[in-house]
Amino acid sequence: MINKKVSNVANALEGVKNGMTFMLGGFGLCGIPENAIAELVRLGIKDITCISNNAGVDDFGLGLLLQGRQIKKMISSYVGENDEFERQMLSGELEVELTPQGTLAEKCRAAQGGFPAFYTPAGYGTEVAHGKETREFNGKMYVLEHAYKADFSFVKAWKGDEAGNLIFKGTARNFNPCMCGAATITVAEVEELHPAGSLDPNEIHIPGIFVQRIFKGEHYEKRIEQRTVRTKNHA
């Protein structure tokens, strides 16, 4: 067993520097690497490029890094629900690259799987395709999209083991598996860190080969963005 366990978040983030590009898992606030984000805030790393589907809300998730003006550029598919983000974008302080969600996921997976680029139909004929190579296959037009390059991937899983194997829960899975092994160093934080051999190999979603460092997150707030419920008498 190759041991990927590090003792805490500080050790897990060793080597992060100003100006680096980070991938961060999560959809909205669901499945975000809360502990890694908190540590990036504490370290005060600046001029970051973030590849993340969303940008958090004003006071949580990537919104915390925006508050401290730590982000230079955001690469996302959807950035609503964040006033500070909107302000920084409109004032020109923050560079924003909007990418179709499926393309964003695939640009991560391409980096993980060793593809330099791929063709997708998404965005053909729109401003997303401006300046990009297009090509026809079987009578349909496609846009060439390149794999991302990143220094660190910060992902969050439900369970993990010391070998770096990961299991995700519910829709907190989202972009996290696609980002594992897609950057030079992948840092996984987990709610439960188990000894190697205690997770069933049949149940592993992401094998430890894609993960360089794993640690148990100290605290998870798991904030809910839209709490929607039904009442019993409607059932």
Partner 1 sequence: MLDKNGIAKRIAKEVQDGFYVNLGIGIPTLVANFVREDINVEFQSENGVLGMGPFPFEGEEDADIINAGKQTITTLPGASFFDSATSFAMIRGKHVDLTILGAMEVADNGDIANWKIPGKMVKGMGGAMDLVASAENIIVAMMHTNRAGESKLLKQCSLPLTGVGCVKKIVTNLAVLEVGPKGFVLLERAPGVSVEEIQKATQGRLIVKGTVPEMVI
Interface residues toward partner 1, by CB under 8 A: 27-31, 53, 76-81, 86, 89, 96, 98, 100-106, 108-109, 120-128, 158, 168-178, 205, 222-232, 235
Which residue lies nearer to partner 1 by CB, 28 or 164? 28
Which residue lies nearer to partner 1 by CB, 219 or 230? 230
Residue 159 CA: distances (Å) to CA of 7, 50, 106, 164, 203: 16, 25, 24, 10, 11
CA distance 235 to 229: 11
Min CB(74)–partner 1 separation in Å: 10
What tokens appear for 43 in the block? 């370290």
Min CB(12)–partner 1 separation in Å: 22
Min CB(197)–partner 1 separation in Å: 25
CA distance 146 to 125: 18
Strand partners, 76: 98
Which residue lies nearer to partner 1 by CB, 31 or 164? 31
Min CB(167)–partner 1 separation in Å: 11
Contact 191, 217 (CB under 8 A): yes
Which residue lies nearer to partner 1 by CB, 46 or 223? 223
Q: Which residue type is seen at 23?
A: M
